[in-house]
Amino acid sequence: MEPNPGSQVSVQAPSSVAVIVRTKDRPRFLERALNDIFAQTYRRFRVVIVNDGGLPESIKGVVGRLPETVREQITVVHHEQSRGMEAASNAGIRSCDSEYIAIHDDDDLWHPEFLQRTVSHLDNYSDAGVVVRTNIRYEEIVGDEIRETGSEPFWGNMQQISLGEMLQINRAVPISFLYRRSLHEELGYFDEKLDVCGDWEFNIRILARHTIGFLDGQPLAFWSQRPAASGADANSIFDKEEDHRRFDRRVRDQYLRKDLAAGGMGMLLEVGRMMDDQERLLLENRRQLDAMQTHLNEALRRLEDTVTRRTSFSGILRRGGTATEMFRGALRGKSRK
């Protein structure tokens, strides 16, 4: 069975999880993502690839290289023109059936037990969704190779997913999140008017009514970032940095206007933004203080070297002494007098 290239597909036997993969003209990332997904220890899932305005031939080539048994679990949805990330998510969700939803962008990665552990959590707890401990994976493109250059925890001190912290800034990127499909029936779909920040706005809607669980411990999701990349290889968080600020502001204004009319979270969102601004300012101040301390230490070291070379003690130092030892010796001599 070949993947269906149509825009709407019905799945006869619902899978437990629908994995929505958004992509556009990035075949090497897509191939890596599909290999990553099909390496999961949990197998009751279906993959929906949403080609958001890219060349259909590139998708066909990537999928065609997969084993036939794997291709049977894939559905392809083609958009002739790009409709944006949130429209791509909605199209993928509507084209299949499942109990749970995961958004897996074509350049991100999972631990092989991501689905097994998150599905187990939602099967046993009443949370609307569950977020896992996540690492940022830094990458660079060298020829046809994607190289990892480093990593660091994403919100390493996070212990839970709270509405208060989510109002400040998004702490649950799509690759880290598995949630119940029923939320779309209750809360609606992703806001397609938002070019970016749509996942954050949806997370706020969820937390306004429900709890989201958090699996601490070993990182199970890896959010790939390529700060130096441009064009198709870039991340939206860097390539559309100004858009993120603009649509962040739009979301906050939207809720604030609702508050003025009927009450709600708009004022809290505005306070959350101010708190986030303060946190960023404190972090920048700390970085500047650390840089100043480094420069000061270097200046003191150079000063000590200069003093050592220009005093009458330099001969002693050349025979193995240090400035610190000399001063200590001088002090001991004075104390014996």
Which residue(s) pair with 215 in the sheet? 132
Please give the chain's pLDDT, 337 residues, in tens: 333 333 333 334 446 999 999 999 999 999 999 999 999 999 999 999 999 999 999 999 999 999 999 999 999 999 999 999 999 999 999 999 999 999 999 999 999 999 999 999 999 999 999 999 999 999 998 888 899 999 999 999 999 999 999 998 999 999 999 999 999 999 999 999 998 899 999 999 999 999 999 999 999 999 999 887 776 777 655 556 788 788 888 888 888 888 777 766 666 677 777 777 788 888 888 888 888 888 888 888 888 777 766 665 555 555 555 555 555 565 555 555 5
Residue 62's CATH number: 3.90.550.10
| Concatenated DSSP letters of 191-204 | -TT-SS-HHHHHHH
Answer for the pair 323, 317: CB distance below 8 angstroms, yes or no. yes
Residue 105 within any structural domain of the chain: yes
161 forms bridges with which residues in the sheet?
Answer: 212
**Domain check: are 136 and 219 in the same one?**
yes
* pLDDT recorded at residue 5: 34
Q: For residues 199 and 88, what is the distance between their CA atoms, to the nearest angstrom?
A: 12
The answer to whether 95 and 12 are in contact (CB under 8 A) is: no
Residue 35 lies in a domain: yes
Task: Domain count for the chain, please give it.
Answer: 2
Residues 302 and 208 grouped into a single domain: no
Question: In this structure, are 163 and 232 located in the same domain?
Answer: yes
What does the pLDDT read at residue 19?
A: 98
Count of positions (residues) in the chain? 337
**Position of tokens 């200046």?**
299
DSSP state of 161: B
Residue 20 near residue 103 (C-beta atoms within 8 A): yes
pLDDT of residue 79: 96
Cβ partners under 8 Å of residue 27, min gap 6? 58, 59, 61, 62
Q: Are residues 73 and 209 in the same domain?
A: yes
Between CA 254 and CA 136, with CA 248 as vertex, the angle to 5 degrees is 145
Instruction: Please indicate, yes or no, if residue 2 is contained in any of the structural domains.
Output: no
